[in-house]
Structure 1
Amino acid sequence: MDGMPLLVVMTVTYGRMATNMKKYILIFTLILTASLFAQTIQSHHSTLLKKRGAAVSSETGEVFADDFEDGTLDAWIVYAESGNSISIATDTTHSGTYAAKLVYGGSNNRNVMSIATDNLNSIYFRCYMKFPANFVGGDGYPTTDFFSFVDGAAGVVYQRIKHDASNRPRNWDILSNGTTDQDANYTHMIHNNWFLVELAWERGTGSNGWTTFKVNGDSVVGIGSLPLALNADSIRIGTYILNENPNGYIYIDDVVIDSTTWVGAKP
C-alpha cells in the first residue's frame, strides 16, 4: 500500500508527459505544414510574378517571359472580337511544341493579347513572329498598330504594319505619343518564315527618350529625342483593328520583356 501513491503520481506524471508530447507533436506538425504551405504559395506566387510581369531578376532586368510551352495563354489578357480568335497552335512554332496564333476574319474588330507591366520607364521587348505572304489586312487601313506599349489609355509607342495597294503587309512604321511617325524600308517585311522582332523604348528625362525597332538584329526604324513623360503599364500584341474583309493569321512565339537591355536572339 505504501507504494500506491508513488504509482499514482508516476501514472499521472506519465499521462501528463504523454499529453504534452502529443501537444508538441501537434504543434510541430502544424508548424511544418504551415512552412510547406508557405513554400508552395511562394513558389506559385513567383510563377505568377514571372507570368504576370513583375520583376523576376534584379540582375538581368527580365520582367516577363513566355514560350507558351505550358500549352496555355493563362499569362495573357486575351480580347478577340467577333470573327477573330487567339489560341495556342501546334502546326508551326519557332521553338518547342506551342506558339500563339492570332486569326483575323472580323471586319473592324480587335484581336489583342496583352500583359501587364509595373509602370516601367524602359522596355526591351523581344518575340518571334510569322505570317503568310497572302495575309490580307482589310480594305482602307493602310497602317495598323501591332506592338504597343501603353500607359493607361495613352499610347507610349506603336509599332505598326503598313499595307500596299492590295492591303498586304508592306513595311514597318513606328509612332510615339506626340511625334510624327517614321517609316522603315521595304526590305524587312518577311513572309512565310519565322523572324525576330525587337522593340525598345527608354523614357529618359526631358527630351532624351528614344525608341528603336529591330528585325533579325538589324535596326529598322526609330525615333529619338522623345519629349515623353509616360510610363508603360501594359504591352499589347495584335492591336490590329482591321477594316473590311481581313483574312489571315499571325503566329507569335518566345516572348521576353526586359527593362534594362536588348534581349537578342533566342540561344
Structure 2
Amino acid sequence: MQHGTPTAPHASLTSPNPPLDDVVAAVEQAGGVLGARLTPRPRGVTLDEIVEEIHANDAAVLAVLKPRLLALRPGSRWAQDELAGGALPSGEWWVVDPAEGNINHVHGMTDWAVTATLVRDNKPVLTVVHLPLTGETYTAEAGHGARLNGAPIQVSRKTALDAALVGTGQARPGESAETFRRIGASVTAMLTHGLVVRVSVPATLQLVHVAAGRTDVFWQFSDVRSGLVAGALLVAEAGGTVTSIDGEPWTPGRADFLACAPGLHARASAVLASIA
C-alpha cells in the first residue's frame, strides 16, 4: 500500500515483524490503563472540557504504550497525529490510536478500544486491536490470517446487498460540508439497497465486525489512517476485499475507503460510486 514520495528506508529494519505476542501484551496493558479511566457518567460539558479529557486519555495510554512499541522495533518511527491522513514516508511506522472511540469513552459509553498497527512502506503488516470491556483482542499479520483471541476469523459469505448489514461513520470532527453531504447521501443510498445501515464511530470497531463476519460492508469518506489501517489489515487477512470506493487498491493516501465481503464488493462499490 505504498503511496507518496519515498525516502530512504532504515537500513536497520530488515528483520521480521516484532513478536505478535509482545505487541498484544503491550496493547492489552495499555487497555487496562484506559479501562481504569472509564466513568459511568460523561466527563466534561463544554467543548474545551471534552477535548481536555480526550487528551488526558491519550496521554495516560501513550505513557505506557509508546515506549514499549518503539522498544519492540528499534528504528521504527511514530505517527504522531492520530487524526492525520495521507501516506507516510517509507520505512516502518507505528500507527496507534490510544483510545479509538475516545469520544465514546469520555461520555461513559462502551464502544472504544486501543489499537496499534505496524505500517511498512505504507502497507499495514501487523495489527492488534484490544477491547478491554469485552476482553476481545483482534490480531493480524500480513499473509498469516486474522484472529480473535487466537481463533481464526473470516468475513461474511453473503452475496446479496439486500441481505447485508452495512455501516459508515464520521471519521473526525470538522470534516468539510461536502464530506458531510456525501456521508448523508451514501446512507440514503444504502438504506435503499442494503438491509440495515449502521452509522457509528469509531471506524475500527465497525471494521472488526466486518472481519469477523458479523457485518458485511463498511465505507468511509475520509483518509484518517489510524482509524483504517488496523481494520484494513484485519478485513483483508480475514478474506475480505479492501479498496477505495471506485474499486482501486486502497492505500493510506486514498480519499475514501471500502471494506466488505468479496461477494458484495461489486454491488457496494457501484452504489457508493454513484454518489457525486
What TM-score range do you get, normalising by the shorter chain? under 0.3
TM-score, length basis structure 2 = 0.25
Q: Greater Rg, structure 1 or structure 2? A: 1
User: More strand by proportion, 1 or 2?
Assistant: 1
TM-score, length basis structure 1 = 0.25
